Amino acid sequence: MNVVDIESTLQTLRHKAFEELRSLQDVRALDDWRVQYLGKKSELTQISRQMGALSPEERPVVGEKVNEARGALQRAYEEMQAELAQRELNRRFAEETIDVTVPGRRHARGSMHPLTQIIQEIEEVFLGMGYEVVEGPEIETDEYNFEKLNLPKHHPARDMQDTFYLTETLLLRTQTSPMQVRTMERMRPHVPVKVIVPGKVYRRDEDDATHSHMFHQIEGLVVDEGVRMSDLKGTLEHFARAIFGANQSVRLRPSFFPFTEPSAELDIRCTNCGGSGCRMCKGTGWLEILGCGMVHPKVLDGAGYDSRRYSGFAFGMGPERIAMLKYGIEDIRLLYQNDLRLLRQFNRVL
Amino acid sequence: MKLSFQWISDYVDLHDLTPETLADKLTGAGLEVEAITPRNQGVSGVVVGEVVACEPHPNADRLRVCQVNVGDGPLRTIVCGAPNVAVGQKVPTALPGAKLPGGSIGVAKLRGIESYGMLCSAKEIGLETKLLPKEQTEGLYVLPADAPVGADIVEYLGLDDVVLEIGLTPNRSDCLSIRGFAYEIAALLDRPTTFPEDVSPETSGASPVQVRIDTPLCQRYEAQAFTGVRTGPSPLWMQMRLMAMGIRPISLPVDITNYVMLEWGQPLHAFDLDEAHEHTIVVRQGRSDETLVTLDGESRELTEDTIVIADPDRAIGIAGVMGGQNSEITAQTKAVVLESAAFDAISVRKTGQRLGLRSEAQQRFEKGIDPQAVTGAIVRATQLFRDLAGAEAWGGVVRATFHDAYAQPTGTVVEFSPERCNRLLGTQHSEETMRDVFRRLGFTVESTEGQVWRVHVPPRRPDISLEADLVEEVGRLAGYDRIPTTLPVGPVTVGARNASQTLRKRTRDVLMSCGMSEVVTYALTHPSDLDKLRVSPDSPYRQMIPLLHPMSEERVALRTHLLPSLAQVAAFNMAHGVDGGAIFEIGRVYWPTKLPLEEQPCERTQWAGLWFGETEPGIGERARPYDFYDAKGVVETWLQALGWQDEVRFAPVQLSWLHPGRSAEVVLNGQRIGSIGELHPETGAAFDLHRAVYAEFDLDVLVSFLQTSWKVHRMPKFPASRRDLAVLVTKDVPVQALLDTAREVAACDEESILEDCRIFDIYTGKGIADGYKSVAVAFRYRADDRTLTDDEVVRVEQRILDAWTKKYGAVLRTN
Ligand SMILES: [Zn+2]
Q: What is the pLDDT of residues B45-82, one digit of tens each?
A: 999 999 998 888 888 888 889 889 988 888 898 988 88
Query: What confidence score (pLDDT) does residue B230 get?
Result: 87
Query: Rounded distance, CA A303 to CA A180, Å?
Result: 9
Disruptive mutation site among A230, A310, A329 for chain B (greatest number of B CBs within 10 Å): A230
Question: Which of A115, A132, A159 is opposite residue B495, by nearest beta carbon?
Answer: A132
Average pLDDT over chain B, rounded to an integer: 92
The whole-angstrom distance between residue B565's C-alpha and the CA centroid of its chain comes to 24
- In angstroms, what separates the C-alpha of B5 from chain A's closest C-alpha? 21
Q: What is the CATH number of domain B2-39+162-189?
A: 3.30.56.10
Is the pLDDT at B200 greater than 80? The verdict is no
User: How do residues B479-502 score in pLDDT, each as one tens digit?
Assistant: 999 999 999 998 999 999 999 999
Minimum CA–CA partner of A320 in chain B: B520
Report the separation in Å between the CA atom of B18 and the middle of ligand 1, taken as the mean of its atom positions. 22
Contact A297 B29 (CB under 8 A): no
Is the pLDDT at B719 greater than 70? The verdict is yes
Query: What confidence score (pLDDT) does residue B709 get?
Result: 87
Q: What is the CATH number of domain B721-812?
A: 3.30.70.380
Contact A139 B549 (CB under 8 A): no
User: Which of the residue ranges B71-80, B457-466, B497-506, B798-807 would you say has the lowest mean pLDDT?
Assistant: B71-80
Residues of A in Cβ contact (< 8 Å) with B29: 254
Average pLDDT over residues A257-281: 93
Query: What confidence score (pLDDT) does residue A52 get?
Result: 77
Confidence grade of residue A350 (pLDDT, cut at 50, 70, 90): low
Report which DSSP code applies to B245. T
Q: If we measure between CA atoms, which residue out of B603, B568, B598 comes closest to residue B588?
A: B603
Confidence grade of residue B113 (pLDDT, cut at 50, 70, 90): confident
Please enumerate, as own/partner, the contacts of B635-640 that have beta carbons within 8 Å and a separation of 24 or more: B635/B609, B635/B666, B635/B674, B635/B676, B635/B695, B635/B697, B637/B510, B637/B514, B638/B507, B638/B510, B638/B511, B638/B514, B639/B666
Report the separation in Å between the CA atom of A269 and the middle of ligand 1, taken as the mean of its atom positions. 8
Query: Rounded distance, CA B71 to CA B37, Å?
Result: 31
Confidence grade of residue A54 (pLDDT, cut at 50, 70, 90): confident
Is the pLDDT at B289 greater than 90? The verdict is no
Contact B600 A140 (CB under 8 A): yes
Would you call the peptide bond into B92 cis, given omega within 30 degrees of 0 as the criterion?
Answer: no
How far separated are the first and last CA of chain B, in Å rounded? 91
3-state SS, residue B697: strand
**Is A108 within 8 Å of chain B by CB?**
yes
Phi, psi of B718, rounded to the nearest 5 degrees: -110, 150
Q: Angle B735-747/B790-808 helices, nearest 10 degrees?
A: 130
- In angstroms, what separates the C-alpha of A187 from chain B's closest C-alpha? 14
Disruptive mutation site among B26, B168, B169, B626 for chain A (greatest number of A CBs within 10 Å): B169
Q: Are strands A286-295 and A311-317 parallel, antiparallel or unpaired?
A: antiparallel
Dihedral sign for Cα A339, A342, A344, A347, please: negative
Query: Rounded distance, CA A183 to CA A59, Å?
Result: 112
Confidence grade of residue A242 (pLDDT, cut at 50, 70, 90): very high
Q: For residue B383, what is the enclosing H or E element? A: helix B371-389
Query: Rounded distance, CA A304 to CA A308, Å?
Result: 12
Dihedral sign for Cα B615, B616, B620, B622, please: positive
Query: What confidence score (pLDDT) does residue A117 get?
Result: 95
Return left, alpha or beta for B809; rule: phi > 0 is left, psi -120 to 50 is alpha, else beta.
left
Query: Rounded distance, CA A285 to CA A280, Å?
Result: 9
Query: Rounded distance, CA A295 to CA A257, Å?
Result: 10
Confidence grade of residue B13 (pLDDT, cut at 50, 70, 90): very high
Q: If we measure between CA atoms, which residue out of B21, B15, B24, B29 comes closest to residue B437?
A: B29
Contact B600 A116 (CB under 8 A): no
Phi, psi of B731, rounded to the nearest 5 degrees: -60, -25
**Is A141 within 8 Å of chain B by CB?**
yes
Query: What confidence score (pLDDT) does residue B598 get?
Result: 92
Single-letter residue type at B276: A
Is the pLDDT at A1 greater than 70? The verdict is no
Is the pLDDT at B815 greater than 70? The verdict is no
Query: What confidence score (pLDDT) does residue B433 get?
Result: 95
Report the separation in Å between the CA atom of A346 and the middle of ligand 1, taken as the mean of its atom positions. 25
Query: Rounded distance, CA B451 to CA B207, Å?
Result: 52
Contact B495 A135 (CB under 8 A): no
User: How do residues B145-179 score in pLDDT, each as one tens digit?
Assistant: 899 999 999 999 999 999 999 999 989 999 999 99
Average pLDDT over residues B501-522: 96
Single-letter residue type at B59: N
User: How do residues A18-31 score in pLDDT, each as one tens digit?
Assistant: 899 888 888 899 99
Is the pLDDT at B141 greater than 80? The verdict is yes
Report the separation in Å between the CA atom of A213 and the middle of ligand 1, taken as the mean of its atom positions. 27
Task: Give Cβ neighbours of residue A62 (< 8 Å, ≥ 6 apart).
Answer: A3, A6, A7, A51, A54
Query: Rounded distance, CA B262 to CA B242, Å?
Result: 8
Contact A338 B573 (CB under 8 A): yes
Is the pLDDT at A39 greater than 70? The verdict is yes
Question: Which of A200, A230, A338 is opposite residue B425, by nearest beta carbon?
Answer: A230
Question: Which of B476, B517, B520 is opposite residue A336, by nearest beta carbon?
Answer: B520
**CATH architecture entry for B210-406:** 3-Layer(bba) Sandwich (3.50)
Contact B349 A156 (CB under 8 A): yes
Q: Report the share of chain B in percent with pLDDT over 90.
A: 76
Confidence grade of residue A10 (pLDDT, cut at 50, 70, 90): confident
Is the pLDDT at A118 greater than 90? The verdict is yes
In this chain, the answer to whether the domains covering B2-39+162-189 and B412-479 adopt an identical fold is: yes
Contact B170 A132 (CB under 8 A): no
Average pLDDT over residues A186-198: 95
Minimum CA–CA partner of A341 in chain B: B578
Query: Rounded distance, CA A286 to CA B226, Å?
Result: 54
- Structure ipTM: 0.88
Query: What confidence score (pLDDT) does residue A161 get?
Result: 67
Confidence grade of residue B518 (pLDDT, cut at 50, 70, 90): very high
**Is the distance from CB of A291 to CB of A255 less than 8 angstroms?**
yes
Does the model's pTM come out above 0.80?
yes
Residues of A in Cβ contact (< 8 Å) with B345: 154, 156
Dihedral sign for Cα A203, A209, A210, A214, please: positive
Q: What is the CATH number of domain B412-479?
A: 3.30.56.10
3-state SS, residue B36: strand
Contact B573 A133 (CB under 8 A): no
Considering only residues 144 to 183 of chain A, which have any Cβ-Cβ distance to chain B shorter than 8 Å? 153-157, 159-160, 164-167, 170, 172
Helices (H), B534-660: 563-575, 628-641
Average pLDDT over residues A34-57: 84
**Is A52 within 8 Å of chain B by CB?**
no
**CATH architecture entry for A114-346:** 2-Layer Sandwich (3.30)
Disruptive mutation site among A191, A231, A336 for chain B (greatest number of B CBs within 10 Å): A231
* Domain definitions of chain A by residue range: 3-96, 114-346
**Is the distance from CB of A189 to CB of A305 less than 8 angstroms?**
yes
Q: Are strands B453-457 and B444-446 parallel, antiparallel or unpaired?
A: antiparallel
- In angstroms, what separates the C-alpha of A89 from chain B's closest C-alpha? 29
Average pLDDT over chain A, rounded to an integer: 92
User: How do residues B365-375 score in pLDDT, each as one tens digit?
Assistant: 988 888 889 99
Query: What confidence score (pLDDT) does residue B651 get?
Result: 94
The whole-angstrom distance between residue A105's C-alpha and the CA centroid of its chain comes to 19
Confidence grade of residue B10 (pLDDT, cut at 50, 70, 90): very high
User: How do residues B524-577 score in pLDDT, each as one tens digit?
Assistant: 999 999 999 999 999 999 999 999 999 999 999 999 999 999 999 999 999 999
Question: Which of B345, B517, B618 is opposite residue A343, by nearest beta carbon?
Answer: B517
**CATH architecture entry for B44-156:** Beta Barrel (2.40)
User: How do residues B721-738 score in pLDDT, each as one tens digit?
Assistant: 999 999 999 999 999 999
In CATH terms, B499-703 corresponds, of 3.30.70.3340, 3.30.930.10, 1.10.1750.10, 3.20.20.140, to: 3.30.930.10
Single-letter residue type at B458: P
Query: What confidence score (pLDDT) does residue A160 get?
Result: 65
Is the pLDDT at B685 greater than 90? The verdict is yes
Query: What confidence score (pLDDT) does residue B30 get?
Result: 94
Query: What confidence score (pLDDT) does residue A186 get?
Result: 96
* Domain definitions of chain B by residue range: 2-39+162-189, 44-156, 210-406, 412-479, 499-703, 721-812
Task: Assign 3-class secondary structure to chain A.
Answer: CCHHHHHHHHHHHHHHHHHHHHCCCCHHHHHHHHHHHHCCCCHHHHHHHHHHHCCCCHHHHHHHHHHHHHHHHHHHHHHHHHHHHHHHHHHHHHHHCCCCCCCCCCCCCCECCHHHHHHHHHHHHHHHCCCEECCCCCEEEHHHHCHHHCCCCCCHHHHHCCCCECCCCEEECCCCCHHHHHHHHHHCCCCCEEEEEEEEEECCCCCCCCCCCEEEEEEEEEEECCCCHHHHHHHHHHHHHHHHCCCCCEEEEEEEECCEEEEEEEEEECCCCCCCCCCCCCCCCEEEEEEEEEECHHHHHHCCCCCCCCEEEEEEECHHHHHHHHHCCCCCCHHHHCCHHHHHHHHCCC
